[in-house]
Structure 1
Amino acid sequence: MKPTFQMQWVNGPWGDPALLVRIRWARRALLFDLGSMATVPSGDLLRVSEVFVSHTHLDHFVGFDHLLRTVLGRDRILSLFGPPGIIGNVEGKLRGYTWNLVQGYPLRLEVFEVDPDWIRGAHFACKEAFRRQDLAARPFTGELWDEPGFRIRAAHLDHQIPCLAFAIEEPFHINIDKERLAGLDLPVGPWLAELKAKIRAGVGDETQIPVGWPGGRTETFSLGELKGAIISVTPGQKMAYVTDALYSPENVARLVTLAKGADALYCEAAYLDRHASLAAERFHLTARQAGLIARQAEVRRLVLFHFSPRYQGETEAFHREAREAFGGWVTVPGGHWD
Structure 2
Amino acid sequence: MLQAQVLGRPGEDNALWVTADSGQGRKRLLLDCGAGTLTALPFAEFQAVDHLLFSHLHMDHVGGFDDFFRATFDRAGRENHVWGPPGTAQILSHRFQGYWWNFAPELRGTWLVHDVSAEEVQSFRFEAHEAFAVMHCAGTRGHQGTIIQTAEVSVQVVPLLHHGTSLGFILREPDRLTVDREALAQSKLSPGPWLTQLKHGVSGKLEIQGTVHDAAALAAKLMSREPGDSLAYFTDFLLDESELRRLSVALQNVQSLYAEAQYAPEDSELACRHHHTTVSQVARLAAAAEVKHLTLLHLSRRYRPDRWNDLLGTVRQTFPSASFPDGWIPSSTNLPQECWIAWNQSHQKLPSDGGSQFRGKDSINKMSFRGICAGAALSTLLG
- Please say whether Structure 1 and Structure 2 have the same fold, judged by a TM-score greater than 0.5: yes
Alignment gaps of 5+ in structure 1 = 210-220
> Residue 217 of structure 1 aligns with which residue?
none
Higher CA-based Rg: 2
User: Percent identity among equivalent residues?
Assistant: 29
8 A contact 2:21–2:152 mirrored in 1: no
| SS of equivalent to 1:141 | coil
TM-score (norm 2): 0.73
**2:274 counterpart of 1:282:** yes
**2:31 counterpart of 1:32:** yes
| SS of equivalent to 1:254 | helix
> Residue 253 of structure 1 aligns with which residue?
245
- Structure with greater proportional strand content: 1
> Residue 329 of structure 1 aligns with which residue?
321
> Residue 100 of structure 2 aligns with which residue?
98
Question: How far, CA to CA, are the matches of 1:186 and 1:13 in structure 2?
Answer: 50
**2:292 counterpart of 1:295:** no
Seen in structure 2, the aligned counterparts of structure 1 residues 117 and 177 have a Cα distance that, compared at 3 Å, is closer
> Residue 159 of structure 2 aligns with which residue?
156
Q: How does 1:188-227 map to 2 (within 5 A)?
A: 198-199=200-201, 203-204=202-203, 206=205
**2:16 counterpart of 1:23:** no
Deviations 1:56-90 (A, max 9, x none): 01111112221121123432111111111101111
**Residue type matched to 1:29 in 2?**
R
Give 1:238 shift: 1.4
Structure 1: 4+ residue segments shifted above 4 A: 175-178, 184-187, 191-196, 221-232
Alignment gaps of 5+ in structure 2 = 185-189, 330-383
Seen in structure 2, the aligned counterparts of structure 1 residues 89 and 139 have a Cα distance that, compared at 3 Å, is same
Seen in structure 2, the aligned counterparts of structure 1 residues 169 and 73 have a Cα distance that, compared at 3 Å, is closer
8 A contact 2:26–2:152 mirrored in 1: no
Deviations 1:249-288 (A, max 9, x none): 3432332122112110001011111222222222111111
Question: How far, CA to CA, are the matches of 2:302 and 2:207 in structure 1?
Answer: 61
Question: How far, CA to CA, are the matches of 2:195 and 2:14 in structure 1?
Answer: 36
TM-score (norm 1): 0.82
8 A contact 2:20–2:152 mirrored in 1: no
Question: How far, CA to CA, are the matches of 1:303 and 1:223 in structure 2?
Answer: 41
The two structures, once aligned, show a CA RMSD in angstroms of 3.1
How many correspondences in the alignment?
A: 315
Question: How far, CA to CA, are the matches of 2:43 and 2:214 in structure 1?
Answer: 40
Give 1:227 shift: 6.0
Seen in structure 2, the aligned counterparts of structure 1 residues 223 and 66 have a Cα distance that, compared at 3 Å, is farther
| SS of equivalent to 2:66 | helix
Question: How far, CA to CA, are the matches of 2:80 and 2:207 in structure 1?
Answer: 34
Aligned partner (choices 118, 122, 126) of residue 124 of structure 1:
126
Seen in structure 2, the aligned counterparts of structure 1 residues 254 and 80 have a Cα distance that, compared at 3 Å, is farther
| SS of equivalent to 1:67 | helix
> Residue 14 of structure 1 aligns with which residue?
11
> Residue 115 of structure 1 aligns with which residue?
117
> Residue 375 of structure 2 aligns with which residue?
none
Give 1:8 shift: 0.9
Deviations 1:22-56 (A, max 9, x none): 11232320111111323221121123111211000
Please say which of residues 317-326 and 247-256 is displaced more in the overlay: 247-256
8 A contact 1:12–1:334 mirrored in 2: no
